[in-house]
Amino acid sequence: MTNTLYIGDPAYSSWSLRGWLLFERFGLERSTVWVDFAHRDVADQLAKIAPAKTVPAVVFDDGAILGESLAIAEELATRFPSAGIWPDDSRARATARALASEMHAGFGALRADCPMALRVAYEGFEPSDAVLADLARLEVIWDHAKRTVGGDGPWLCGAHSAADAFFAPVAARIATYGLPVSEAATGYVAAHLADPAFRRWRGMGFARGEDLPWYAMDLPTRGWPGPTPLEARAVDEGPAENDACPYSGKPVTHFMEAGGKTWGFCNAFCRDKTVPDPLAWPAFAALYEGR
């Protein structure tokens, strides 16, 4: 039996992104169950794993059920102590825990006014005073972490930790709505947008779920501010450069064109998650670079 991770629509579910990163970024195996956001009945869809009622939720291999992101982070750190979910250094670890806890409990205006929506980037969004206050608080705690325990890398407390996983959706919101932050904070946001794991999650956001009108803003859009991906598009026919899907090893049935060549996948999801940012996926990148 393996650990099972329940997550929602990757374009919109900010807490699911946190839970997914805790597994993906730290190399932890899991099976995945996708929860449909279109009908707003998340608790009903999770009824069989009650008392969990929100995503992310995890059913561990011993039957333990957790439906709170911070509890999931702590439990994973206990079960996989060498994964690096929290920093080894005591001061950095305390700082990371404080950051994740504040994110878990706070920043209500930023969450309410700027829902995560990874398929778009808006132009002309005007943040409220309450959102600006949340952004100012982010500047304070991010700056403190970087100055005291951040080291030379892009992350808050040294190596990438659960604290960064918790702030990944905040980076997405700043990018989507063009929120005003300092140069240092802009650099931290850019590190998230460039992170291959974040880019894979965003790719899945184009492959799963439908556009949900209750998240939409009546604003003009602009290009996504992250790295420019390899251009790719879905096509109807092969032949493909490869006979087996780079993810499953199964025979190819769906096709994508990238780099002037056609590539094969075993199903529509494998293809469609790859199209938005092909080289963010290590298995496909290895195939692409090997040909």
CATH number at residue 165: 1.20.1050.10
Instruction: Answer yes or no: do 106 and 69 share one domain.
Output: no
3-state SS class at 227? coil
Angle at 44 between CA 41 and CA 47, to 5 degrees: 155
Task: Give the chain's residues under pLDDT 50.
Answer: none
The pLDDT value recorded for residue 35 is 94
Strand partners, 233: 257
The pLDDT value recorded for residue 37 is 87
The whole-model pTM stands at 0.96
Instruction: Answer yes or no: do 173 and 122 share one domain.
Output: yes
Strand partners, 244: 251
Q: Which two tokens stand for residue 113?
A: 């006014």
Closest by alpha carbon to 18, among 60, 65, 54? Answer: 54
Within a 13 Å sphere around the CA of 63, how many CA atoms are in the beta-carbon half? 0
Instruction: Answer yes or no: do 25 and 117 share one domain.
Output: no
The pLDDT value recorded for residue 210 is 85
Indicate the residue among 180, 200, 220 that finishes a domain. 200
Instruction: Answer yes or no: do 260 and 181 share one domain.
Output: no
Calculate the dihedral angle through the C-alpha atoms of 88, 90, 96, 100, rounding to the nearest 10 degrees. 100
d(C-alpha 110, C-alpha 213), whole Å: 19
Angle at 18 between CA 15 and CA 19, to 5 degrees: 90
What pLDDT, in 10s, does the model give residues 91-121? 999 999 999 999 999 999 999 999 999 999 9
- Domain range for 63 is 4-79
Inside any domain, residue 278 = yes
Inside any domain, residue 224 = no
Domain tally for the chain? 3
